[in-house]
Amino acid sequence: MRGQIWYIALLIGLMCIVRFSLSAVGYVAPYSLMQQLSIPVSSNVQMPYIVRVWAIRDTVLAVLVASANRSTVKTLLFACIAIDVTDIISAHLSGVAGLFNEVETWSLKLTAIAALVPESIASVLLTVRKPQERIDLEKNQGKSSETIV
C-alpha cells in the first residue's frame, strides 16, 4: 500500500480495515461474530475453530497488503480477490445445500463482498494506472527531447 495515490491507498485501507476488524472480532469472540452473522452455534460445534482460522488468514492478509510496496500490492490484491470470490461461492453453495438459511447465507456473502468491492476497484485502478503512467512518461520525454533540438 506504500507509495500509492491517495484514492488507491484509501480503497486498500478500507479493505484492510474491513478484513482486520472482522477478523479481530472473529478471533477474540467467535461466538459473538457467529451470532452477528446469524450462524447457529448449536448446530455448528466446530465453527468457532473455523472462524478463528479464517480470522488469522484475514489478519495476515490485511497486514501483508497494508505493508506491501507498489510492486507487490497488485499481486496481493489479486490473491485477496480470489479468496473473497471463493468465500462468496462457498457461502452460496452452503446455502444451496441447506446448511444455512437465506439470511445466514447472505450475511456470509456480504462479509466477503464488503472487502471484495474496494479491493477490486483498487486492483482495476492499479492496472489502468500503469499504462497511463507510461504514456505520460513518454509524452514528457518527447517534450523534453523536442526542446533540446
pLDDT mean over 87-100: 92
Q: Which residues are CB-contacts of 102 (< 8 A; sequence separation ≥ 6)?
A: 95
- Burial code (b: 16+ CB inside 10 Å, e: under 16) for 112-125 equals bbbbbebbbbbbeb
For the chain, the average pLDDT equals: 85
Task: Measure the CA dihedral 110/119/54/64, to 10°.
Answer: -160
**Which grid cell sits at 125?**
485502478
Q: Report the distance separating Cα 21 and Cα 122, nearest Å.
A: 19
pLDDT interval class at 70 (50, 70, 90):
confident
Task: Measure the CA dihedral 61/97/38/104, to 10°.
Answer: 80
- pTM of the model as a whole: 0.77
CB 4 within 8 Å of CB 125: no
pLDDT mean over 86-105: 91
- Percent of the chain exceeding pLDDT 70 equals 85
Domain boundaries, the chain: 6-148
pLDDT digits (tens, 9 = 90+) for 112-146: 999 999 999 999 999 887 665 555 555 666 565 55
Instruction: Say how many C-beta atoms besides its own lie within 10 A of residue 143's C-beta.
Output: 9
